[in-house]
Amino acid sequence: MTDLLYSKLAGVGHLFYKFYFPHEKIAFIIDGYLKKFNCKKIVFFGALIYAAKILQSRGYEITFVDYTKEMVDEAKKVLQNTKFVVSDMRTLELEEKQDAIVLMGRILTYMYTDEDVLKAFSAFKNNLKDSGIIVVDNYEISKIDKGGYFNGIIEVKDKNLTIRRISKISRQKNQPAVYKWDCIYEKAAKGEKEIFEDKNHILRAFSKDEMEELVKKSKLKFIGNFPNFEERSFITVAQK
Ligand SMILES: C[S@@+](CC[C@H](N)C(=O)[O-])C[C@H]1O[C@@H](n2cnc3c(N)ncnc32)[C@H](O)[C@@H]1O
């Protein structure tokens, strides 16, 4: 597949996430649910590759999945002893059943209709062992656009690299709650500057009640909605 949302942004996106996100804290939160439900074999979706690495160092057997080959290639540079799969979440079909499916990094934000969410949940169910769990985080309606993450300038850097992300978010629709986000990454490394444009990026936010209802419709067992590592999003846990 080419030209998916993150095909051209995987490199700069995952570097931005590398410096920006509190991976230890995120891995700690995920680890809590995995331990509680005795999970060992897990599917890890998306761009928080360094959180996956921490979980791997704690003994979890990881299958890393993204629908862009580019993000999977970035993960291959960081994760060892890992299975890598390029797949859309709605059509996930793995050879072995898993103990948990982890979607942290607000990836369900790209399921713009309830039908899409239910397709994804149905695929997750088919790839889980009995009593397996899903751990999914989501932006929350009317909190997604607060603070500076999708509005304004964020700069991350180390001694070799600076990334400035300049962005603006606006609400497009109420039901489902869909937001348009325009963003530019300016990357400066070794005296060279590169610009990556990410315009008309559509994000969906959910309410906690909406997630509970969608989980119940999917016939997964709703375990609960819980706090995330930051205020604008929440975690939902459900069980097969
Ligand atoms: C990079 S995260 C970004 C989330 C959000 N924009 C943010 O800044 O918090 C999104 C990841 O989800 C992946 N992704 C998006 N839609 C997907 C789908 N339908 N199936 C699997 N992976 C998907 C993208 O390729 C990307 O790696």
Nearest to 162 by CA among 139, 184, 132, 193: 193
Nearest to 151 by CA among 171, 176, 175: 171
Cis peptide leading into residue 176 (ω within 30°): yes
pLDDT reported for residue 31: 98
Angle at alpha carbon of residue 67, lines to 5 and 225, rounded to 5°: 90
Taking the C-alpha atoms of residue 71 and residue 1, their distance in angstroms, rounded to an integer, is 12
The band of 3, judged by pLDDT with boundaries at 50, 70 and 90, is low
The band of 5, judged by pLDDT with boundaries at 50, 70 and 90, is confident
Task: Encode pLDDT of 183-217 as tens digits.
Answer: 999 999 988 999 999 999 999 999 999 999 999 99
pLDDT over 90 at 6, yes or no: no
CA of residue 203 to ligand 1 center, whole Å: 10
Phi, psi (5° rounding) for residue 198? -130, 85
CA of residue 10 to ligand 1 center, whole Å: 9
With contact defined as beta carbons under 8 Å apart, do 78 and 50 qualify? yes
Task: Encode pLDDT of 63-110 as tens digits.
Answer: 999 999 999 999 999 999 999 999 999 999 999 999 999 999 999 999
- The domains found in the chain, sorted by start residue, are 10-140+206-239 (3.40.50.150), 152-204 (2.20.130)
CA of residue 76 to ligand 1 center, whole Å: 17
Mean pLDDT across 120-134: 98
Residue type, 140: E
Task: Encode pLDDT of 16-70 as tens digits.
Answer: 999 999 999 999 999 999 999 999 999 999 989 999 999 999 999 999 999 999 9
The band of 169, judged by pLDDT with boundaries at 50, 70 and 90, is very high
Integer CA distances (angstroms), 94 to 134, 153, 190, 199, 234, in order: 15, 39, 41, 33, 27
160 burial via Cβ count (<10 Å: 0-12, 13-18, 19+) = exposed
Radius of gyration of the chain (CA): 17
Phi, psi (5° rounding) for residue 5? -45, -45
Residues 6+ apart with CB under 8 A from 8: 70, 196
Ligand 1 atom with least separation from CA of 110: 16
Ligand 1 atom with least separation from CA of 70: 25
Report the nearest-CA residue for atom 5 of ligand 1: 106
pLDDT reported for residue 4: 72
Integer CA distances (angstroms), 141 to 44, 64, 103, 180, in order: 25, 28, 18, 13
The band of 7, judged by pLDDT with boundaries at 50, 70 and 90, is confident
pLDDT over 80 at 1, yes or no: no
Taking the C-alpha atoms of residue 109 and residue 6, their distance in angstroms, rounded to an integer, is 13
Mean pLDDT of the chain: 95
Taking the C-alpha atoms of residue 186 and residue 215, their distance in angstroms, rounded to an integer, is 39
Q: What pairing do the DSSP bridges indicate for beta strands 161-173 and 177-189?
A: antiparallel
Report the nearest-CA residue for atom 13 of ligand 1: 46
What distance lies between CA 139 and its chain's CA centroid? Answer: 11
CA of residue 213 to ligand 1 center, whole Å: 23
pLDDT reported for residue 2: 46
